[in-house]
Amino acid sequence: MTDANHVFIFDTTLRDAEQTPGASLNVAEKLEVAQQLARLKVDIIEAGFPVSSNEDFEAVRRIGQEVEGPVICGLARAVAKDIDRAGEALKDAPNPRIHTFVGTSEIHLKGQMRKGQEEVLKMAVAAVEQAKSYCDDVEFSPMDAARTDPGYLFEVIEATIAAGATTINIPDTVGYAVPEEFGALIEQIIAKVPNSDQAIISVHCHDDLGMAVINTLAAIKGGARQAECTINGLGERAGNASLEEIVMALKTRQDHFGYTTDVVSQEIISTSRLVSRLMGIAVQPNKAIVGANAFAHSSGIHQDGVIKQRNTFEIMEPKDVGLDDTEIVLTARSGRAALRHRLQVLGHELEQEELNRVYEIFVELADKKKEVFDEDLIEIVGGEPGEPTDHYELQYLHSVSGTGTVPTATVRLRIGDQTVQESAWGDGPVDAAYAAICQACGTDIRVENYAIRAITSGSQALGEVTVHLSRAEEKVRGRGVSTDIIEASAKAYVDALNRLVLKSVKEEHQTV
């Protein structure tokens, strides 16, 4: 017997989110995402639309066979060839589901289907019966349910459950619904469809008016027990309900909702970043839960509160979604409390008078820079040993890259009073340049993170590269700016190398 308070999470990242323009994945990438979704412990993975292409068929087939844990679902229109293709793709899957759908609103019946209600009802029943011949687990969706005449919608739902559908999905296909009416619609379905208790009621909401998540939550309160969603809220047009927002809303406001999921929330960040990287779609910085700023604080008041007691300005623990900790971003808006806290983390306990002196220098520097980093603070506190160093200087850079060409780079560095030139190849021009610099330095350096952004507009915009390097236990950040991204990347790497030197000098000075 299913727990009445359990909500099944149906992830359609590999089907609906992949319909996002430019987000297409190959079979290997889909399999990688599916394996991560299994680690996230979603209940159902909609792996694709098998009839749409041979590659989608192969992805559904392989995911069905190779990914353990979740139910693996294939989408099919209420068309015989679609259902046959989905059944064939899933025939060897241990936990298969076929999800079939047909438009039911007057707008769809007249504008797209060009069929009457009775004919579409027969199509829906026939599709469910055909899908049932392939697997016991069948889901049916009356597409554009939110704009479908309620009486006809109830009739279709009752008939498809009688035909064998085990899940009935109520889609807000175009993001038209508002929470109160959508929640009420779910309540009416449960109250007025006689056999509604024989199927799980699901919802699939789009975000055209920015209400996909709240509509989903309203539907859950109304009795829905499956939420269809995507990682990072990706999908057609404005996207789908965001998995991470639904899961964390239910978890964080357990007192209000009273529902649970099996999702391992600590895997959310890893999953978000994998999907973003493979689909090539960056997550907006202020995106709830997974955005770069979701657990970052730059206001002095907020920083002071979080340092003293986290829940003053955070309603979730960063570790609950897979982050190490809150990020305190030091800017001109930061106060003494944040500065003191960061200095303590770096091993500097300052008396109030010394803190005041350092704070004045910090504010002056922060006014000139967007963000003050650990290396800057070490320089401020350290005095002479922290003065900027130019031990490494990039004197020459030449890179070659192109289709069918192995990316190579040649660099000439001044290292102290010596000049060193090296060449190397890599996965791309930046990787090749970094390999050449590393060879020239003769030291084992690891690139931990690399980020690039345009800081001016136009085709000749200045690009800013930030790179994080580590050597043993030492970690530094470097920055480079140029209209040439390869040059900006090399400058950032060299800047980070100089900061490593600066850090070493500082540490030597402290031990004397």
Mean pLDDT of 112-119: 90
- Predicted confidence (pLDDT) at residue 268 exceeds the cutoff of 90: yes
What letter represents residue 329's amino acid?
V
CB 323 within 8 A of CB 300: no
- Predicted confidence (pLDDT) at residue 383 exceeds the cutoff of 50: no
pLDDT at res. 387: 45
CA distances from 185 to 221, 239, 256 (A): 11, 22, 21
Question: In whole angstroms, what is the distance from residue 341 CA to residue 300 CA?
Answer: 12
CB 128 within 8 A of CB 138: yes
What tokens does 273 get? Answer: 């970043």
pLDDT category of residue 386 using cuts at 50, 70 and 90: very low
Q: Which of 366, 340, 371 is nearest to 355 (CA)?
A: 340
pLDDT at res. 46: 98
Beta-carbon contacts of residue 301 (< 8 Å; ≥ 6 apart): 335
Q: What DSSP string describes 244-295? A: HHHHHHHHHTHHHH--B----GGGHHHHHHHHHHHHT-PPPTT-TTTSTTTT
Look up tokens 């530094």; give the residue. 476
Q: Residue 499: phi, psi to the nearest 5?
A: -70, -30
To the nearest whole number, what is the mean pLDDT of the chain? 89
Beta-carbon contacts of residue 355 (< 8 Å; ≥ 6 apart): 336, 339, 340, 343
Among 53-57, 353-357, 432-436, 461-465, which is the least confidently predicted range? 461-465
pLDDT at res. 297: 75
Virtual torsion, Cα 412, 453, 18, 292, nearest 10 deg: 110
What letter represents residue 178's amino acid?
V
Q: How many CB atoms lie within 10 A of CB 216?
A: 29
pLDDT at res. 296: 77
Among 224-233, 236-245, 474-483, 490-499, which is the least confidently predicted range? 474-483
Among 4-8, 23-27, 297-301, 311-315, which is the least confidently predicted range? 297-301
CB 413 within 8 A of CB 437: yes
- Predicted confidence (pLDDT) at residue 61 exceeds the cutoff of 90: yes
Question: In whole angstroms, what is the distance from residue 319 CA to residue 250 CA?
Answer: 17
Among 21-25, 172-176, 352-356, which is the least confidently predicted range? 21-25
Q: Which helix (H) or strand (E) holds 140?
A: strand 138-143
CA distances from 319 to 9, 150, 230, 326, 456 (A): 21, 44, 21, 9, 35
Task: Look at residue 240 and give its three-state secondary structure.
Answer: strand
Mean pLDDT of 51-72: 97
Question: In whole angstroms, what is the distance from residue 494 CA to residue 481 CA?
Answer: 12
Question: In whole angstroms, what is the distance from residue 365 CA to residue 46 CA?
Answer: 51
Q: Which of 167, 258, 182 is nearest to 213 (CA)?
A: 182
Q: What is the pLDDT of residues 162-220, one digit of tens each?
A: 999 999 999 999 999 999 999 999 999 999 999 999 999 999 999 999 999 999 999 99
pLDDT at res. 368: 73
Question: In whole angstroms, what is the distance from residue 8 CA to residue 214 CA?
Answer: 17
Mean pLDDT of 91-114: 94
pLDDT at res. 455: 62
What tokens does 212 get? Answer: 């996909």
- Predicted confidence (pLDDT) at residue 60 exceeds the cutoff of 70: yes
Ordered domains of the chain (ranges, CATH): 8-279 (3.20.20.70), 296-382 (no CATH), 392-511 (3.30.160.270)
What tokens does 176 get? Answer: 């038209």
pLDDT category of residue 506 using cuts at 50, 70 and 90: low
Q: What DSSP string describes 166-226? A: SEEEEEETTS---HHHHHHHHHHHHHHSTTGGGSEEEEEEB-TTS-HHHHHHHHHHHT--E
Beta-carbon contacts of residue 95 (< 8 Å; ≥ 6 apart): 70, 71, 72, 137
Q: What DSSP string describes 363-422? A: HHHHHHSS---HHHHHHHHHSGGGS---SEEEEEEEEEEETTEEEEEEEEEEETTEEEEE
Q: What is the pLDDT of residues 226-243, one digit of tens each?
A: 999 999 999 999 999 999
